[in-house]
Chains A and B, each alone.
Chain A
Protein backbone atom coordinates (compact mmCIF):
# COMPACT_ATOMS: atom_id res chain seq x y z
CA UNK A 1 0.00 0.00 0.00
CA UNK A 2 2.50 2.57 1.14
CA UNK A 3 5.03 1.43 -1.39
CA UNK A 4 2.98 2.92 -4.21
CA UNK A 5 1.83 6.02 -2.37
CA UNK A 6 4.80 8.19 -3.21
CA UNK A 7 6.17 8.94 -6.64
CA UNK A 8 9.74 8.92 -5.38
CA UNK A 9 9.48 5.28 -4.55
CA UNK A 10 10.00 2.76 -7.26
CA UNK A 11 8.04 -0.44 -7.37
CA UNK A 12 10.06 -3.09 -5.65
CA UNK A 13 9.77 -5.48 -8.58
CA UNK A 14 11.29 -2.81 -10.80
CA UNK A 15 14.41 -2.41 -8.76
CA UNK A 16 15.16 -5.77 -7.23
CA UNK A 17 17.16 -8.01 -9.51
CA UNK A 18 15.66 -11.45 -9.82
CA UNK A 19 18.71 -13.15 -8.36
CA UNK A 20 18.23 -11.13 -5.20
CA UNK A 21 14.64 -11.96 -4.54
CA UNK A 22 15.12 -15.57 -5.45
CA UNK A 23 17.94 -15.57 -2.95
CA UNK A 24 15.66 -13.87 -0.42
CA UNK A 25 13.11 -16.62 -0.89
CA UNK A 26 15.79 -19.17 -0.16
CA UNK A 27 16.64 -17.32 3.01
CA UNK A 28 12.97 -17.24 3.98
CA UNK A 29 12.60 -20.92 3.15
CA UNK A 30 15.64 -21.55 5.31
CA UNK A 31 14.12 -19.53 8.10
CA UNK A 32 10.88 -21.47 7.74
CA UNK A 33 12.71 -24.78 7.93
CA UNK A 34 14.59 -23.50 10.95
CA UNK A 35 11.36 -22.47 12.64
CA UNK A 36 9.98 -25.93 11.94
CA UNK A 37 13.05 -27.51 13.50
CA UNK A 38 12.80 -25.31 16.56
CA UNK A 39 9.13 -26.13 16.88
CA UNK A 40 10.01 -29.79 16.80
CA UNK A 41 12.26 -29.26 19.75
CA UNK A 42 15.48 -29.19 17.76
CA UNK A 43 18.31 -26.87 18.69
CA UNK A 44 17.69 -23.33 17.49
CA UNK A 45 20.78 -23.10 15.30
CA UNK A 46 21.39 -19.71 13.77
CA UNK A 47 20.74 -19.27 10.08
CA UNK A 48 23.07 -16.28 10.13
CA UNK A 49 26.55 -16.77 8.90
CA UNK A 50 27.98 -14.65 11.68
CA UNK A 51 31.65 -14.01 11.26
CA UNK A 52 34.02 -15.07 13.99
CA UNK A 53 35.83 -11.92 15.05
CA UNK A 54 39.56 -12.56 15.12
CA UNK A 55 41.47 -11.06 18.04
CA UNK A 56 43.74 -8.17 17.05
CA UNK A 57 47.07 -7.24 18.59
CA UNK A 58 47.56 -3.57 19.24
CA UNK A 59 49.81 -1.27 21.21
CA UNK A 60 48.37 1.07 23.82
CA UNK A 61 48.36 4.75 23.03
CA UNK A 62 48.08 7.90 25.09
CA UNK A 63 44.54 8.49 23.96
CA UNK A 64 42.55 7.44 26.99
CA UNK A 65 40.12 9.78 28.72
CA UNK A 66 40.30 7.61 31.84
CA UNK A 67 36.55 7.07 31.79
CA UNK A 68 34.67 3.85 32.24
CA UNK A 69 34.30 1.91 28.99
CA UNK A 70 30.79 1.42 27.66
CA UNK A 71 29.90 -2.27 27.92
CA UNK A 72 30.78 -4.03 24.67
CA UNK A 73 27.28 -5.52 24.43
CA UNK A 74 25.78 -2.01 24.37
CA UNK A 75 28.17 -0.85 21.65
CA UNK A 76 27.35 -3.83 19.42
CA UNK A 77 23.57 -3.85 19.97
CA UNK A 78 22.67 -0.14 19.86
CA UNK A 79 23.59 1.16 16.45
CA UNK A 80 22.72 3.73 13.85
CA UNK A 81 23.51 2.10 10.54
CA UNK A 82 20.54 2.97 8.37
CA UNK A 83 21.67 0.74 5.51
CA UNK A 84 20.48 -2.10 7.74
CA UNK A 85 17.35 -0.40 9.08
CA UNK A 86 16.44 2.66 11.10
CA UNK A 87 15.80 1.03 14.47
CA UNK A 88 18.68 0.81 16.87
CA UNK A 89 18.54 -2.99 16.97
CA UNK A 90 18.20 -3.48 13.19
CA UNK A 91 21.93 -3.37 12.40
CA UNK A 92 22.80 -6.09 14.92
CA UNK A 93 20.03 -8.25 13.44
CA UNK A 94 20.66 -7.58 9.75
CA UNK A 95 24.32 -6.75 9.22
CA UNK A 96 25.50 -10.37 9.11
CA UNK A 97 24.47 -10.29 5.43
CA UNK A 98 27.37 -7.98 4.60
CA UNK A 99 30.40 -9.74 3.21
CA UNK A 100 33.53 -8.02 4.47
CA UNK A 101 36.31 -10.22 3.13
CA UNK A 102 37.92 -9.55 0.79
CA UNK A 103 37.46 -5.78 1.00
CA UNK A 104 38.60 -3.26 -1.55
CA UNK A 105 38.79 0.49 -1.15
CA UNK A 106 38.73 2.62 -4.26
CA UNK A 107 40.95 5.69 -4.12
CA UNK A 108 40.32 8.38 -6.73
CA UNK A 109 40.07 12.08 -7.43
CA UNK A 110 43.00 14.45 -7.02
CA UNK A 111 45.65 11.92 -6.13
CA UNK A 112 48.83 10.65 -7.73
CA UNK A 113 48.08 7.14 -6.55
CA UNK A 114 44.52 6.30 -7.58
CA UNK A 115 43.44 2.69 -7.69
CA UNK A 116 41.69 -0.14 -5.97
CA UNK A 117 43.45 -1.06 -2.77
CA UNK A 118 43.01 -4.19 -0.71
CA UNK A 119 42.19 -3.30 2.89
CA UNK A 120 45.49 -4.80 4.01
CA UNK A 121 47.34 -2.34 1.74
CA UNK A 122 45.68 0.57 3.48
CA UNK A 123 45.76 -0.63 7.06
CA UNK A 124 48.94 -2.15 8.45
CA UNK A 125 47.59 -4.84 10.77
CA UNK A 126 51.03 -5.15 12.38
CA UNK A 127 50.97 -1.54 13.53
CA UNK A 128 47.56 -1.29 15.18
CA UNK A 129 47.02 1.09 18.05
CA UNK A 130 44.35 1.08 20.73
CA UNK A 131 42.69 4.43 21.30
CA UNK A 132 39.96 5.00 23.83
CA UNK A 133 37.73 7.75 22.53
CA UNK A 134 34.46 9.30 23.60
CA UNK A 135 31.78 8.97 20.92
CA UNK A 136 29.01 11.57 20.99
CA UNK A 137 25.94 11.02 18.83
CA UNK A 138 23.91 13.95 17.49
CA UNK A 139 20.91 12.31 19.20
CA UNK A 140 22.48 13.32 22.53
CA UNK A 141 23.80 9.97 23.75
CA UNK A 142 27.43 9.00 24.13
CA UNK A 143 29.75 6.05 24.66
CA UNK A 144 33.41 5.39 25.47
CA UNK A 145 34.95 2.90 23.07
CA UNK A 146 38.42 1.28 22.86
CA UNK A 147 39.07 1.40 19.11
CA UNK A 148 41.81 -0.54 17.34
CA UNK A 149 43.23 0.88 14.15
CA UNK A 150 45.68 3.28 12.59
CA UNK A 151 45.86 7.05 12.48
CA UNK A 152 44.42 8.53 9.29
CA UNK A 153 47.17 11.09 8.59
CA UNK A 154 49.96 8.72 7.47
CA UNK A 155 47.55 6.93 5.16
CA UNK A 156 46.46 10.22 3.58
CA UNK A 157 50.10 11.09 2.97
CA UNK A 158 50.73 7.65 1.48
CA UNK A 159 47.84 8.15 -0.93
CA UNK A 160 49.57 11.30 -2.21
CA UNK A 161 46.82 13.86 -2.64
CA UNK A 162 47.69 16.62 -5.12
CA UNK A 163 48.38 20.08 -3.78
CA UNK A 164 45.00 21.38 -4.97
CA UNK A 165 43.07 18.78 -2.97
CA UNK A 166 41.33 20.45 -0.03
CA UNK A 167 38.90 17.77 1.10
CA UNK A 168 38.68 14.02 1.59
CA UNK A 169 35.41 12.37 0.69
CA UNK A 170 34.43 8.95 2.05
CA UNK A 171 31.73 6.62 0.85
CA UNK A 172 30.02 3.67 2.55
CA UNK A 173 29.13 0.48 0.74
CA UNK A 174 25.62 0.65 -0.73
CA UNK A 175 24.63 -2.82 -1.86
CA UNK A 176 20.95 -3.62 -1.93
CA UNK A 177 21.57 -7.36 -1.82
CA UNK A 178 23.51 -7.11 1.43
CA UNK A 179 21.81 -4.15 3.06
CA UNK A 180 18.03 -4.39 3.47
CA UNK A 181 17.65 -0.76 4.62
CA UNK A 182 18.67 0.51 1.19
CA UNK A 183 15.27 -0.45 -0.19
CA UNK A 184 13.89 2.61 1.59
CA UNK A 185 14.95 6.09 0.49
CA UNK A 186 15.69 7.21 4.05
CA UNK A 187 18.63 9.17 2.70
CA UNK A 188 20.18 9.41 -0.73
CA UNK A 189 22.43 6.33 -0.77
CA UNK A 190 25.34 5.80 -0.75
CA UNK A 191 26.23 7.36 2.57
CA UNK A 192 28.82 10.07 2.05
CA UNK A 193 30.97 11.89 4.58
CA UNK A 194 33.96 14.14 4.37
CA UNK A 195 36.69 16.04 6.15
CA UNK A 196 38.71 19.11 5.32
CA UNK A 197 42.29 18.10 4.55
CA UNK A 198 43.68 19.59 7.76
CA UNK A 199 41.00 17.79 9.79
CA UNK A 200 41.91 14.52 8.13
CA UNK A 201 45.57 15.13 8.93
CA UNK A 202 44.81 15.87 12.60
CA UNK A 203 46.43 13.25 14.83
CA UNK A 204 43.07 12.35 16.40
CA UNK A 205 41.45 11.24 13.11
CA UNK A 206 41.57 7.47 13.16
CA UNK A 207 40.78 4.55 10.91
CA UNK A 208 39.40 1.69 13.01
CA UNK A 209 39.34 -1.98 12.10
CA UNK A 210 38.48 -3.30 15.53
CA UNK A 211 37.51 -2.62 19.13
CA UNK A 212 37.52 -4.40 22.48
CA UNK A 213 40.56 -6.41 21.37
CA UNK A 214 39.07 -7.87 18.21
CA UNK A 215 37.79 -7.10 14.74
CA UNK A 216 34.80 -4.79 14.28
CA UNK A 217 31.44 -6.54 14.02
CA UNK A 218 29.53 -5.68 10.85
CA UNK A 219 26.98 -3.48 12.60
CA UNK A 220 29.78 -1.24 13.86
CA UNK A 221 31.15 -0.61 10.39
CA UNK A 222 33.35 -3.57 9.54
CA UNK A 223 35.84 -3.99 8.14
CA UNK A 224 37.10 -0.40 8.23
CA UNK A 225 35.54 2.82 9.48
CA UNK A 226 36.51 6.33 10.33
CA UNK A 227 36.55 7.64 13.90
CA UNK A 228 36.52 11.42 14.35
CA UNK A 229 35.99 11.82 18.09
CA UNK A 230 35.49 15.59 18.22
CA UNK A 231 32.60 15.42 15.75
CA UNK A 232 29.13 13.90 16.04
CA UNK A 233 29.07 10.17 15.47
CA UNK A 234 27.58 10.32 11.99
CA UNK A 235 30.81 11.88 10.67
CA UNK A 236 32.60 8.64 11.58
CA UNK A 237 31.56 6.86 8.41
CA UNK A 238 31.30 3.07 8.43
CA UNK A 239 32.34 0.31 6.00
CA UNK A 240 34.38 2.57 3.74
CA UNK A 241 34.59 1.54 0.07
CA UNK A 242 35.83 4.75 -1.47
CA UNK A 243 38.17 7.58 -0.56
CA UNK A 244 38.33 10.56 -2.93
CA UNK A 245 40.35 13.75 -2.85
CA UNK A 246 38.60 16.86 -4.12
CA UNK A 247 38.93 20.62 -4.16
CA UNK A 248 35.31 21.36 -3.34
CA UNK A 249 33.45 20.54 -0.17
CA UNK A 250 31.78 17.12 -0.48
CA UNK A 251 28.01 17.18 -0.09
CA UNK A 252 27.57 14.70 2.70
CA UNK A 253 24.58 12.38 2.97
CA UNK A 254 23.02 14.24 5.90
CA UNK A 255 23.65 17.66 4.34
CA UNK A 256 21.71 16.48 1.29
CA UNK A 257 18.92 15.09 3.45
CA UNK A 258 18.44 18.05 5.79
CA UNK A 259 20.83 20.96 5.15
CA UNK A 260 19.35 23.08 7.93
CA UNK A 261 20.09 20.36 10.47
CA UNK A 262 23.39 18.89 9.41
CA UNK A 263 26.34 20.97 8.36
CA UNK A 264 29.66 19.83 6.96
CA UNK A 265 31.60 20.35 10.17
CA UNK A 266 29.25 18.84 12.76
CA UNK A 267 31.67 19.47 15.59
CA UNK A 268 30.36 18.50 19.01
CA UNK A 269 29.31 21.86 20.40
CA UNK A 270 27.07 22.28 23.46
CA UNK A 271 26.35 25.88 22.47
CA UNK A 272 24.98 25.22 19.01
CA UNK A 273 21.64 23.46 19.15
CA UNK A 274 20.50 21.02 16.57
CA UNK A 275 16.94 21.92 15.51
CA UNK A 276 15.70 18.70 17.10
CA UNK A 277 18.08 18.03 19.97
CA UNK A 278 19.56 20.35 22.52
CA UNK A 279 23.26 19.58 22.45
CA UNK A 280 24.00 20.98 25.91
CA UNK A 281 23.72 17.62 27.65
CA UNK A 282 24.04 13.98 26.74
CA UNK A 283 23.22 10.58 28.13
CA UNK A 284 26.24 8.36 28.57
CA UNK A 285 24.89 4.92 27.74
CA UNK A 286 24.55 3.04 31.01
CA UNK A 287 23.84 6.13 33.09
CA UNK A 288 20.36 7.26 34.10
CA UNK A 289 20.70 11.05 33.96
CA UNK A 290 22.38 13.39 31.53
CA UNK A 291 25.82 14.95 31.77
CA UNK A 292 27.14 18.21 30.34
CA UNK A 293 28.48 17.96 26.81
CA UNK A 294 32.06 19.15 26.37
CA UNK A 295 33.11 21.53 23.60
CA UNK A 296 34.63 19.47 20.77
CA UNK A 297 33.62 16.47 22.89
CA UNK A 298 36.52 17.32 25.20
CA UNK A 299 39.16 17.28 22.43
CA UNK A 300 39.53 21.05 22.05
CA UNK A 301 43.19 20.90 23.02
CA UNK A 302 43.91 19.01 19.77
CA UNK A 303 41.38 20.50 17.39
CA UNK A 304 40.29 24.00 18.45
CA UNK A 305 43.02 25.54 16.29
CA UNK A 306 41.46 24.04 13.17
CA UNK A 307 38.46 26.32 13.59
CA UNK A 308 40.04 29.48 14.89
CA UNK A 309 38.33 32.52 13.42
CA UNK A 310 35.41 30.49 12.11
CA UNK A 311 31.85 31.24 13.20
CA UNK A 312 30.73 27.87 14.54
CA UNK A 313 27.11 29.01 14.63
CA UNK A 314 27.28 29.29 10.85
CA UNK A 315 29.73 26.49 10.22
CA UNK A 316 27.81 23.91 12.24
Chain B
Protein backbone atom coordinates (compact mmCIF):
# COMPACT_ATOMS: atom_id res chain seq x y z
CA UNK B 1 0.00 0.00 0.00
CA UNK B 2 1.37 3.42 -0.91
CA UNK B 3 1.30 5.89 1.95
CA UNK B 4 -1.66 8.25 1.81
CA UNK B 5 -1.09 11.56 3.58
CA UNK B 6 -3.61 12.21 6.36
CA UNK B 7 -4.63 15.57 4.92
CA UNK B 8 -5.52 14.05 1.58
CA UNK B 9 -7.68 11.53 3.42
CA UNK B 10 -9.47 14.10 5.57
CA UNK B 11 -9.96 16.85 3.04
CA UNK B 12 -9.91 14.94 -0.23
CA UNK B 13 -11.16 11.38 0.09
CA UNK B 14 -13.68 11.96 2.87
CA UNK B 15 -15.76 14.55 1.01
CA UNK B 16 -15.50 12.35 -2.06
CA UNK B 17 -16.82 9.37 -0.09
CA UNK B 18 -19.60 11.54 1.29
CA UNK B 19 -20.79 12.47 -2.19
CA UNK B 20 -20.38 8.94 -3.51
CA UNK B 21 -22.54 7.51 -0.75
CA UNK B 22 -25.16 10.19 -1.26
CA UNK B 23 -25.33 9.47 -4.98
CA UNK B 24 -27.94 6.67 -4.78
CA UNK B 25 -30.22 8.98 -2.81
CA UNK B 26 -29.76 11.80 -5.31
CA UNK B 27 -30.68 9.39 -8.10
CA UNK B 28 -33.78 8.37 -6.13
CA UNK B 29 -34.84 11.99 -5.61
CA UNK B 30 -34.24 12.72 -9.29
CA UNK B 31 -36.36 9.71 -10.30
CA UNK B 32 -39.18 10.74 -7.97
CA UNK B 33 -39.13 14.24 -9.43
CA UNK B 34 -40.29 12.62 -12.68
CA UNK B 35 -42.50 10.00 -11.03
CA UNK B 36 -44.50 12.67 -9.20
CA UNK B 37 -45.32 14.23 -12.54
CA UNK B 38 -46.44 10.88 -13.89
CA UNK B 39 -43.51 10.79 -16.31
CA UNK B 40 -41.40 7.76 -17.18
CA UNK B 41 -38.66 7.37 -14.59
CA UNK B 42 -35.94 5.01 -13.46
CA UNK B 43 -38.22 3.53 -10.80
CA UNK B 44 -40.60 1.92 -13.28
CA UNK B 45 -44.38 1.70 -13.18
CA UNK B 46 -44.66 1.03 -9.44
CA UNK B 47 -42.19 3.63 -8.11
CA UNK B 48 -43.41 3.23 -4.53
CA UNK B 49 -42.43 -0.42 -4.45
CA UNK B 50 -39.19 0.30 -6.34
CA UNK B 51 -38.09 2.99 -3.90
CA UNK B 52 -38.89 0.79 -0.90
CA UNK B 53 -36.60 -1.82 -2.35
CA UNK B 54 -33.94 0.61 -3.47
CA UNK B 55 -33.56 2.33 -0.10
CA UNK B 56 -33.65 -1.01 1.72
CA UNK B 57 -30.94 -2.42 -0.53
CA UNK B 58 -28.67 0.54 0.18
CA UNK B 59 -29.26 0.49 3.93
CA UNK B 60 -28.20 -3.16 3.95
CA UNK B 61 -25.20 -2.52 1.73
CA UNK B 62 -23.91 0.23 4.00
CA UNK B 63 -24.45 -1.91 7.09
CA UNK B 64 -22.30 -4.61 5.52
CA UNK B 65 -19.77 -2.01 4.47
CA UNK B 66 -19.32 -0.81 8.06
CA UNK B 67 -18.65 -4.41 9.03
CA UNK B 68 -16.08 -4.66 6.26
CA UNK B 69 -13.99 -1.70 7.46
CA UNK B 70 -12.12 -3.44 10.29
CA UNK B 71 -11.28 -6.64 8.37
CA UNK B 72 -10.19 -4.45 5.45
CA UNK B 73 -7.87 -2.30 7.55
CA UNK B 74 -6.35 -5.43 9.05
CA UNK B 75 -5.86 -6.80 5.56
CA UNK B 76 -3.97 -3.72 4.37
CA UNK B 77 -2.30 -3.32 7.78
CA UNK B 78 -3.36 0.32 8.10
CA UNK B 79 -5.83 1.90 10.51
CA UNK B 80 -6.80 4.59 7.99
CA UNK B 81 -10.02 3.02 6.67
CA UNK B 82 -11.42 3.44 10.21
CA UNK B 83 -11.63 7.16 9.44
CA UNK B 84 -14.56 6.37 7.14
CA UNK B 85 -16.46 3.99 9.38
CA UNK B 86 -18.65 6.52 11.18
CA UNK B 87 -19.70 8.11 7.91
CA UNK B 88 -20.61 4.74 6.42
CA UNK B 89 -22.58 3.80 9.54
CA UNK B 90 -24.49 7.06 9.50
CA UNK B 91 -25.28 6.51 5.84
CA UNK B 92 -26.66 3.06 6.73
CA UNK B 93 -28.97 4.80 9.22
CA UNK B 94 -29.80 7.48 6.67
CA UNK B 95 -30.88 4.93 4.06
CA UNK B 96 -32.78 2.94 6.70
CA UNK B 97 -34.70 6.11 7.59
CA UNK B 98 -35.28 6.84 3.89
CA UNK B 99 -36.56 3.24 3.60
CA UNK B 100 -39.14 3.80 6.34
CA UNK B 101 -40.05 7.20 4.94
CA UNK B 102 -40.60 5.66 1.53
CA UNK B 103 -42.87 3.03 3.07
CA UNK B 104 -44.81 5.38 5.36
CA UNK B 105 -45.14 8.28 2.98
CA UNK B 106 -44.86 7.14 -0.63
CA UNK B 107 -46.21 3.61 -0.27
CA UNK B 108 -48.89 3.81 2.44
CA UNK B 109 -49.36 7.58 2.45
CA UNK B 110 -49.53 7.96 6.25
CA UNK B 111 -52.32 5.39 6.69
CA UNK B 112 -51.23 4.97 10.31
CA UNK B 113 -53.79 2.27 11.14
CA UNK B 114 -52.50 0.13 8.30
CA UNK B 115 -48.89 0.86 9.20
CA UNK B 116 -49.44 -0.09 12.84
CA UNK B 117 -51.26 -3.26 11.77
CA UNK B 118 -48.33 -4.08 9.45
CA UNK B 119 -45.81 -3.67 12.26
CA UNK B 120 -47.79 -5.93 14.58
CA UNK B 121 -49.04 -8.53 12.13
CA UNK B 122 -46.38 -8.89 9.49
CA UNK B 123 -43.33 -10.51 10.99
CA UNK B 124 -40.94 -9.23 8.34
CA UNK B 125 -41.99 -5.67 9.09
CA UNK B 126 -41.69 -6.27 12.84
CA UNK B 127 -38.15 -7.55 12.33
CA UNK B 128 -37.25 -4.63 10.05
CA UNK B 129 -38.68 -2.09 12.46
CA UNK B 130 -36.73 -3.64 15.33
CA UNK B 131 -33.53 -3.36 13.29
CA UNK B 132 -34.19 0.32 12.64
CA UNK B 133 -35.04 1.15 16.25
CA UNK B 134 -31.88 -0.59 17.43
CA UNK B 135 -29.82 1.31 14.88
CA UNK B 136 -30.98 4.74 16.05
CA UNK B 137 -29.05 4.79 19.40
CA UNK B 138 -25.91 3.90 17.47
CA UNK B 139 -26.41 6.88 15.19
CA UNK B 140 -27.19 9.22 18.08
CA UNK B 141 -24.05 8.22 20.00
CA UNK B 142 -21.78 8.54 17.00
CA UNK B 143 -20.27 11.88 18.09
CA UNK B 144 -16.98 12.43 19.91
CA UNK B 145 -18.91 13.93 22.80
CA UNK B 146 -20.90 10.76 23.28
CA UNK B 147 -17.79 8.58 23.14
CA UNK B 148 -16.21 10.71 25.89
CA UNK B 149 -19.42 10.75 27.87
CA UNK B 150 -19.93 6.99 27.71
CA UNK B 151 -16.34 5.95 27.96
CA UNK B 152 -14.82 4.12 25.02
CA UNK B 153 -15.32 0.63 26.48
CA UNK B 154 -19.07 1.05 26.93
CA UNK B 155 -19.34 2.92 23.67
CA UNK B 156 -17.67 0.07 21.81
CA UNK B 157 -19.94 -2.46 23.50
CA UNK B 158 -23.00 -0.51 22.38
CA UNK B 159 -21.75 -0.24 18.84
CA UNK B 160 -21.13 -3.97 18.67
CA UNK B 161 -24.94 -4.15 18.48
CA UNK B 162 -24.47 -3.78 14.73
CA UNK B 163 -23.36 -7.45 14.73
CA UNK B 164 -26.94 -8.30 15.70
CA UNK B 165 -28.73 -5.59 13.75
CA UNK B 166 -27.29 -6.56 10.37
CA UNK B 167 -28.63 -10.13 10.43
CA UNK B 168 -32.04 -8.73 11.44
CA UNK B 169 -31.95 -6.62 8.29
CA UNK B 170 -30.95 -9.65 6.22
CA UNK B 171 -33.77 -11.74 7.73
CA UNK B 172 -36.20 -8.90 7.03
CA UNK B 173 -35.09 -8.95 3.39
CA UNK B 174 -35.26 -12.73 3.12
CA UNK B 175 -38.79 -12.87 4.56
CA UNK B 176 -39.98 -10.06 2.32
CA UNK B 177 -39.17 -11.98 -0.85
CA UNK B 178 -41.41 -14.77 -2.09
CA UNK B 179 -39.94 -18.26 -2.16
CA UNK B 180 -36.23 -18.87 -1.69
CA UNK B 181 -34.50 -16.08 -3.55
CA UNK B 182 -30.82 -15.68 -4.10
CA UNK B 183 -30.26 -11.98 -3.31
CA UNK B 184 -31.00 -12.09 0.43
CA UNK B 185 -28.84 -15.21 0.67
CA UNK B 186 -25.94 -13.33 -0.93
CA UNK B 187 -26.21 -10.58 1.67
CA UNK B 188 -26.41 -13.19 4.42
CA UNK B 189 -23.30 -14.93 3.09
CA UNK B 190 -21.37 -11.63 2.99
CA UNK B 191 -22.38 -10.99 6.60
CA UNK B 192 -21.13 -14.42 7.65
CA UNK B 193 -17.83 -13.96 5.83
CA UNK B 194 -17.30 -10.60 7.55
CA UNK B 195 -18.06 -12.12 10.93
CA UNK B 196 -15.58 -15.00 10.58
CA UNK B 197 -12.45 -13.05 11.70
CA UNK B 198 -14.39 -11.58 14.64
CA UNK B 199 -15.64 -14.93 15.87
CA UNK B 200 -12.16 -16.38 15.42
CA UNK B 201 -10.58 -13.57 17.43
CA UNK B 202 -13.17 -14.01 20.15
CA UNK B 203 -12.44 -17.73 20.39
CA UNK B 204 -8.71 -17.07 20.61
CA UNK B 205 -9.05 -14.54 23.44
CA UNK B 206 -11.38 -16.87 25.28
CA UNK B 207 -8.89 -19.72 25.00
CA UNK B 208 -6.15 -17.42 26.30
CA UNK B 209 -8.32 -16.26 29.17
CA UNK B 210 -9.06 -19.78 30.32
CA UNK B 211 -6.14 -22.10 29.51
CA UNK B 212 -7.21 -25.70 29.52
Contacts and interface: CB of A to CB of B under 8 A. Distances in A.
Interface in A259-290: 273, 275-278, 280-281, 283, 285-286, 288-290
A278 B44 contact: no
B177 A86 contact: yes
Interface string A87-100: 01100000000000
A281 B108 CA distance: 10
Given A88-B44, A88-B46, A2 B189 contact: yes
Interface stretch (B63-71, B120-128, B140-148, B153-161): B120-128
Nearest 8 pairs between A and B by C-beta?
A74-B45, A186-B179, A187-B179, A78-B45, A2-B189, A257-B179, A86-B181, A285-B45
Interface string B147-182: 000000000000000000000000000011111111
A184 interface: yes
10 contacts: A1-B189, A2-B185, A141-B46, A186-B181, A186-B182, A187-B180, A276-B124, A278-B117, A290-B108, A290-B111
B53 to A, nearest CB: 9
A111 interface: no
A82 B179 contact: yes
A283 B46 contact: yes
Nearest to B108: A290
Interface in A76-127: 77-78, 82, 86, 88-89
Chain A interface main SS type: loop
Nearest to A3: B182
B186 interface: yes
B100 to A, nearest CB: 17
A86 B53 CA distance: 13
B141 to A, nearest CB: 33
A281 B109 CA distance: 12
Contacts of B124: 276
B182 A184 contact: yes
Most buried by A among B49, B108, B179, B181: B179
B186 A77 contact: no
A285 B46 contact: yes
Contacts of A277: 122
Chain A interface residue number, banded: 35 or more
Interface of A: 1-2, 5-6, 71, 73-74, 77-78, 82, 86, 88-89, 139, 141, 184-187, 254, 257-258, 273, 275-278, 280-281, 283, 285-286, 288-290
Contacts of A285: 45-46
Contact of A286 (B45, B180, B186): B45
Interface in B43-68: 44-46, 48-49
Contacts of B175: 276
Interface string B104-119: 0000110100100110
A125 B71 CA distance: 64
B63 to A, nearest CB: 18
Contacts of B176: 276
Nearest to B114: A278
B122 A275 contact: yes
Most buried by B among A6, A88, A139, A285: A88
Contacts of A288: 36, 48, 109
Nearest to B47: A288
Given A74-B45, A286-B45, 16 more contacts: A1-B189, A2-B186, A5-B189, A71-B45, A86-B177, A88-B46, A186-B182, A257-B178, A276-B122, A276-B175, A278-B122, A280-B114, A281-B111, A285-B46, A288-B109, A290-B111
